[in-house]
A = this chain, B = another copy of it.
């Protein structure tokens, strides 16, 4: 048995998220099926992030164990020939037997894209939240800065989140505008369920003038999902990089 580390990119539009589940097509099962066809046997792929339905990735990392002697440099190419065009293995490499794509994760970086153009951006519509209308990026930036650090993010977690502790450390939370696109980049040592989308939905409430940036302190203190803004749509979210 050899441990393999994979870097995976996908357009999540047509998938019910990363994680295998009954009655829905997922990224994990699609890649596992290609690996099983190529290498034989049952293969389990463990991905660092369980991205939701409709969420994209250009830096998902996963590991699996293989019996097959296929050189790692040929594995990506062979898998890509079997995979649909909206999923690609960007890198495949032999890894230390102890490498754990989930457990060894130090931090993850997600990017959320908003398009403020009045006209529906037909060529980008699968990869952004189309929200016409002005947003005050300077105020969004002030609000984003208040989220950086080790804090209890319970107000930004889906009520369904079962994890015991809602304390996480956000290393970076920045907002940048480029023409009519607004990019929110969030890097943290871990994320609660729907945390980035709830953060972006909240920053948009600040950007449109409903809340002042200082209101973020009250949202954090409330430790209650209903204190924060509405969830931003999945299609604007992309997993950019996992750091080990």
Contact of A119 among B86, B88, B120, B125 (CB under 8 A): B88
Determine the distance from Cα of A80 to Cα of B121 in the docked complex, in whole angstroms.
Answer: 12
Task: Give 16 pairs: A residue, B residue, CB < 8 Å, sorted on A.
Answer: A9-B122, A9-B123, A10-B122, A11-B122, A11-B123, A11-B125, A56-B123, A58-B122, A80-B120, A85-B120, A86-B125, A87-B122, A88-B122, A90-B119, A123-B127, A123-B238
Q: Mark A57-83, 1 if CB is under 8 A from B, else 0.
A: 010000000000000000000001000
Query: Which B residue's beta carbon lies closest to that of A80?
Result: B120
Size of the chain A interface, CB-CB below 8 angstroms: 18
Q: Mark A7-44, 1 if CB is under 8 A from B, else 0.
A: 00111000000000000000000000000000000000
Query: Which B residue's beta carbon lies closest to that of A130?
Result: B85
Contact of A88 among B11, B58, B80, B120 (CB under 8 A): B120
Determine the distance from Cα of A119 to Cα of B85 in the docked complex, in whole angstroms.
Answer: 11
> Closest CB-CB distance, A12 to chain B, in whole Å?
9
Query: Which B residue's beta carbon lies closest to that of A77?
Result: B118
Do A119 and B9 touch (CB < 8 A)?
A: yes
Q: Mark A118-154, 1 if CB is under 8 A from B, else 0.
A: 0110110101000000000000000000000000000
Complex interface: chain B residues within 8 A of A56 (CB): 122-123
Query: Which B residue's beta carbon lies closest to that of A119?
Result: B90
> Closest CB-CB distance, A110 to chain B, in whole Å?
14
Complex interface: chain B residues within 8 A of A86 (CB): 122, 125
Complex interface: chain B residues within 8 A of A238 (CB): 123
Contact of A122 among B85, B119, B122 (CB under 8 A): B85
Do B88 and A123 touch (CB < 8 A)?
A: no
**Closest 9 pairs between A and B when the two form their complex, measured CB to CB:** A88-B120, A90-B119, A11-B122, A9-B122, A85-B125, A86-B122, A88-B122, A10-B122, A11-B123
